[in-house]
């Protein structure tokens, strides 16, 4: 019996190690090759080569650096818009009873089942008619609309699980529904709001299809869109992947830094949301 348990544990650890390898080896190779010249990559493709070539990062930064501010504005606006609208809507769905409440919530859930690719053409026509092409709002507003259904679903489930006695005590003290939302619901939902914030920042930061359709001028590009022509042009000219991979490292660093500071809140938010559901 003990031997069977040990064998199963060994197999489990082998599977885990294999999955970790599949996850981290591409990241290691991206970092490794981003510091290499073409000659170093040819002679030593799989391991670190010295001296490290920082020229790749200088070149990548000179090209994609100006796009970071656009990306921060768009990703921050989308994430903030989703959290503000979704938290208010979810609180109303969870704490108030009104005609058609469940029907409206089901309609929101139906939106989760629709593939995003199906809305590309209708969204483009709408953005064009509103004269929002090649403007940040042309990416921000559809991004907020796309992220709302899941955020409302998750927050509504969380708010519905909060103890009703807290809100009843607030009513006895004479606070208004808005005050109850701000002073009771929001402080208790900080972990799950942090989790949603990270998820939405990640999604909007990495958005490329819609951003590439809407943002046509170079000055309006996000970093994900700007990396595409940089990679295509530089690799076609030099056959070197170092500068392009350095650009990808630069584009991912802000996300890594943000997650480093809020990782505990993110994990708490995901687990609390899971338990509530």
- The whole-number pLDDT of residue 275 equals 43
CA dist., res. 258 & res. 205, Å (int): 12
Q: Do 63 and 230 contact (CB within 8 A), yes or no?
A: yes
Global pTM reads: 0.82
Q: What is the DSSP letter of 37?
A: -
Is 60 exceeded by the pLDDT of residue 2? no
Q: What confidence category does residue 54 fall into, taking pLDDT thresholds of 50, 70 and 90? A: confident
CATH architecture of structural domain 72-214+264-276: Orthogonal Bundle (1.10)
Q: Do 64 and 251 contact (CB within 8 A), yes or no?
A: yes
CA dist., res. 184 & res. 172, Å (int): 14
Distance of CA 184 to the CA centre of its chain: 27
- The whole-number pLDDT of residue 266 equals 63
Q: What confidence category does residue 262 fall into, taking pLDDT thresholds of 50, 70 and 90? A: confident
Which stretches within the chain are classed as H helix?
Answer: 2-34, 38-43, 55-64, 67-95, 101-112, 120-129, 137-160, 164-172, 177-180, 186-188, 190-206, 209-214, 223-238, 242-276
Q: What confidence category does residue 277 fall into, taking pLDDT thresholds of 50, 70 and 90? A: very low
Token reading at 94 = 């969870």
Q: List the chain domain ranges.
A: 72-214+264-276
Q: What confidence category does residue 159 fall into, taking pLDDT thresholds of 50, 70 and 90? A: confident
Is 80 exceeded by the pLDDT of residue 276? no
Give me the phi and psi of 17, to 5 degrees please. Answer: -65, -40
Give me the phi and psi of 163, to 5 degrees please. Answer: -60, 130
pLDDT above 90 coverage of the chain, percent: 19
Non-local (6+) Cβ contacts of 231 within 8 A are: 244, 247
């Amino acid at each position: 019996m003990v031997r069977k348990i040990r064998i199963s544990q060994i197999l489990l650890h082998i599977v885990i190690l294999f999955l970790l390898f599949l996850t981290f080896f591409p990241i290691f190779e991206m970092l490794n090759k981003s510091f290499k010249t073409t000659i170093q990559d040819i002679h030593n493709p799989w391991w670190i080569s010295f001296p490290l070539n920082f020229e790749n990062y200088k070149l990548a930064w000179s090209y994609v650096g100006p796009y970071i501010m656009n990306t921060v504005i768009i990703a921050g606006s989308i994430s903030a818009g989703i959290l503000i609208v979704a938290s208010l809507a979810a609180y109303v769905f969870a704490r108030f009873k009104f005609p058609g409440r469940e029907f409206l919530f089901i309609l929101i859930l139906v939106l989760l089942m629709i593939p995003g690719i199906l809305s590309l053409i209708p969204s483009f026509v709408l953005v064009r008619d509103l004269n929002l092409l090649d403007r940040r709002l042309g990416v921000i507003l559809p991004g907020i609309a796309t992220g709302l259904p899941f955020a409302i679903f998750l927050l509504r489930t969380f708010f519905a699980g909060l103890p009703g006695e807290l809100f009843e005590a607030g009513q006895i003290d004479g606070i208004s529904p808005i005050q109850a939302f701000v002073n009771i619901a929001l402080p208790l939902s900080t972990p799950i709001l942090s989790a949603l914030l990270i998820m939405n920042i990640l999604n909007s930061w990495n958005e490329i299809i819609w951003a590439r359709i809407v943002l046509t001028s170079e000055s309006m590009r996000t970093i994900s869109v700007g990396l595409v022509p940089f990679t295509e042009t530089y690799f076609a000219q030099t056959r070197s992947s170092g500068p392009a991979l350095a650009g990808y490292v630069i584009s991912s660093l802000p996300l890594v830094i943000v997650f480093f500071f809020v990782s505990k809140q993110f994990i708490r938010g995901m687990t609390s949301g899971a338990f509530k559901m």
